[in-house]
Each structure stands twice: as C-alpha cells, then as structure tokens.
Structure 1
C-alpha cells in the first residue's frame, strides 16, 4: 500500500485486530515518491502506531523498494463468509477517501473460494513470503527511534490538511 493515513481506516484495522482478525500489511516505506526523497511519512509512523496499539498483533512488512515505490492501493478483507477487495487509484488517506481528490476505486465482493479472492491471496502470499524474489522486508528494516516525531508531524499535517498524502 502506497499511503495509509486515514484515521477511520487506522481505527478499523485496530478494531479488527482486537476482534481477533489477522491483519497483515505490506506498506511502501515512503523513502521515495515520484523521484523525490521522503522521510517515511505517513506509513512509518502509522505502522508503528498500529503495532503499538495492538501489541504487535498487526503485522507489517515493507515493500523492498529501490528508486521506485510500491504504488498499490489494494486491500483484501477475507473471512469464511466471503471476501471484499478494494482496488483502484485512491490511497487510504483522508485526502483520497473523503473526495478531496477525484479517485476511482472498485469494490468487489466475492465468495471466499472465488477465483479473484484466491488469486489475490496467492499474490499477497507470494509477496509476504518472498516466494521467488525478495519482495518484502521485515518491519525492523525501517523501524526507527524518531518515529514519535514523525507521528506528531503526520498527525498535525493530517489534522490541518497540509499533506502531500
């Protein structure tokens, strides 16, 4: 996921984890965006918050980027009663989800054993387990001690609407 910052989405992920759902995220480390260096906001402070608030139950891996970015805007929610796939151009940020940018997303509801759900599960598993290449990195690769400052910066930017995400 390229950007994860919307407070409602963050709260929903924490609540899902609190209910016992397995929550696993592959996030862009926000090192580079469109050729420009970045400092890890918003994903690094959000990832730290999610892990802190759930005592590590929410698992995070970083996409193994170099000069590119992991620009996916994709979410799969699956369970015994079905799967919901969200995919499109909208980042999971307030700017994108609250109609401040014109974005297009598609929501697909499918049976848990349907072809779309199975293919997306296989894609995620391939990245998560590094099947065939080193697609993702452990959370510790981008874990940092200054995350509290970045978390404050992210929250202030988000609250005031002064963001690039």
Structure 2
C-alpha cells in the first residue's frame, strides 16, 4: 500500500529475510529522543540490532524490551541463551537506560516477534511476523515473513499496541512480566561466553 499524502494513511509493506533486517536497522537508527521503542521478542541476539539499540539509547530513545527468558522451548528445557546474556549486555552497556522485563512464562513461551516505535509526532513504525532478531532469521538463512506498518499515533492499531505493551509492562490485570533481576543470576557471564562462541562458530538453534 503506497502513501497517498493524507495524514491518516497507513503504509504497509510485506518484507522477507534480508529486507526485514534492512528495515529493522533503519527504523532503530532513525528513532529520536521522545520516541519509545517497544520490543516483544522470543530471541534477541543479532549484534547489529543490539548495537543500534545502544546507539538509540544514547540518543535519548526510551527503549523497553519484553523478552522470553528462554527457560523452555517446545517442551525442552533451556539455559537462558540467547536472551539472558543479551539482556545483561544491553543493560550494562547502556548503564541501565535500556529497560528489560521478562515475560512471566510457565511451561509456555513468549513467542512474540514484534517491534513498535511509538512516535509523539508523525507516523509510528511497527514490524512483526515470524522473525526473531537473530543472525539466522535476519541474514537470509531462514525463510521469514514480516509486515512493516507506519501509522499515525491516534490510529486504532497504534492505540491497541500502546495498550498491549503497557498492560504487560505494568502488569495490569495479571502478573504478565517480571523485573530483569528475575533471570540475571551468577552464571549469566558464563552464558555470555557460550553465546559469543556459538555466534562465532555459527552453531546455534536460534
């Protein structure tokens, strides 16, 4: 759907593989002070995405990440890779300016793959679909599909996303999410070494 020049238009693009990568990096790079970048993500590990998040935080963008704790996946126990060491790195390098909460999973998983950049003026940006923010998913190694949407801040879609993220973040009506410290233990540094080794060798499941 192409823009028609009217203020209330919604722009939609269908993206696959590397195009998703291009738009994700561009949208984070173009975020500005006053914007709030929300992310709900099953796997976050891509180095370029994480670098752009840190740069955006340095610019004054309010970054709030809701991540799966990677405690289980499809019925199998996991040890918190990649999200726990990735979260620890982002919190440490941003000096706490990047905020992280864990979805309060039981035997299920928080399988969301969604980024929403809420802008006080102009159009907010949304990307969501099948794509984890990892090298395997973004760099033309998996067949992935996302929708990219730009919509005004008062559009029903952006209002729904505002409600969705605030409800989880603030635990409105249920204990949806936990503080970052809930899954940042003494062994996180060991998982960080393992994550970096897996990324370097390319032997990952994410």
> What's the TM-score, normalizing by structure 2?
0.78
Give, in angstroms, the shift of residue 81 of structure 1.
2.5
SS of alignment partner, residue 62 of structure 2: coil
> Which one has the largest radius of gyration?
2
1:163 is paired with a residue whose SS is coil
For 1:8 and 1:82, how far apart are their aligned partners in 2?
24
What pairs up with 1:22-37 in 2 under 5 angstroms? 22-37=62-77
Off by >3 Å, runs of 4+ in structure 1: none
**1:112 Cα deviation (Å)?**
2.0
For residues 114 and 15 of structure 1, the distance between their equivalents in structure 2, rounded to whole angstroms, comes to 28
Work out the CA distance in 2 between the residues paired with 1:6 and 1:81.
Answer: 28
Residue 70, structure 1, aligned to residue 87, structure 2: no
Match among 119, 127, 130 for residue 171 of structure 2: 130
| Deviation per residue, 1:20-79 (Å, 9 max, x gap) | 000000000000001000000000000000000001000000000000000000110122
Distance 2:174 2:105 in 1: 13
The runs of 5 or more residues in structure 1 that have no matched partner are: none
SS of the aligned residue for 1:23 comes to strand
Q: TM-score, normalised by structure 1?
A: 0.97
* Cα distance in structure 2, aligned partners of 1:120 and 1:93: 23
Give aligned pairs, total: 165
